[in-house]
Amino acid sequence: MSDVEELYDYDDLRTLKDPTMIVARVERPTLVLGSGQSREVIDPASLGATSLRRRRGGGGVVLLRPRDLWVDWWIPRDDARWSPDVHLSSLDAGTWWSTALQPLVEGPLHLHRGALEGARAHRVVCFAGRGPGEVFLEGRKLVGVTQWRVREGVFLSSVLGVEATIDVLAYLADAPAGLADALDAHPLDPSRFNAEALLTGLRETSGPWEQRAVHLVD
């Protein structure tokens, strides 16, 4: 799987001693593969100016664009927010997002507390299913959550989709039947929120943290 550049230097970040909130932003559209995915799920002819990266952690492809918010929390093993319970850690991330987002949306947010749901074939794309800790509005996904665990701690990874996630279909080498319907995500209207204010609220809800910003430029 080393044929695709990683989203950022995870081996460096896992040496951090302090709990850290990492915000990754891209300058142009970027496809982010799950750790176990082959680049063959992507049609190479579709890429054009779109970058291709890989994250550590489970799940499917994410189409990340400049207005989307990708947030990782690095929680060292000796921090009070670290838990051996994988399910509980995901619920923590979803709770932080729900608290920060609720004042910005009309209608109640729903936190998925159950196990992973959705057709296995559709899991090629992150936003096509339901996983623990993921946040929904009117039955459609707002925030995707995944995680990667190592002996030093855990990365909780999340993405708030601002633009339509169905656009990812144009990049797939093979789109399983029904995937378009499963990708009925709920993009958050960017005119309704200030990204930096939202991130500040997210830090206050989940913190305290050291802070890092990662700007991905190819």
Tens digits of per-residue pLDDT, 103-157? 988 889 999 999 999 888 999 998 888 999 999 988 888 999 999 999 999 999 9
CB atoms within 10 A of CB 12: 8
Query: Would you state the pLDDT for residue 129?
Result: 86
- Res 217 pLDDT > 90: no
User: Does residue 157 contact residue 148 with C-beta atoms inside 8 Å?
Assistant: yes
Quick: pLDDT tens for 6-23: 999 999 999 999 999 999
Q: Where are the alpha helices (DSSP H) in 1-150?
A: 10-13, 86-101
Q: Please tell me the pTM assigned to this model.
A: 0.93
Instruction: Report the alpha-carbon distance of residue 91 to residue 32 in Å, rounded.
Output: 22
Angle, in degrees to the nearest 10, between helices 195-206 and 86-101: 130
The enclosing H or E element of 206 equals: helix 195-206
Superfamily of domain 10-216, CATH level 4: Bira Bifunctional Protein; Domain 2 (3.30.930.10)
- Res 1 pLDDT > 50: no
Average pLDDT over residues 20-49: 94
Tokens of 113: 């507390």
Strand order in the sheet with 30-33: 51-54, 30-33, 62-64
Beta strands in 3-134 (DSSP E): 20-26, 30-33, 51-54, 62-64, 69-76, 109-111
Q: What percent of the chain has pLDDT over 70?
A: 95
- Per-residue DSSP letter, 165: G
Residues 6+ apart with CB under 8 A from 38: 1
Quick: pLDDT tens for 76-95: 999 999 999 999 999 999 99
Angle at 64 between CA 86 and CA 67, to 5 degrees: 110
Tokens of 182: 């499963």
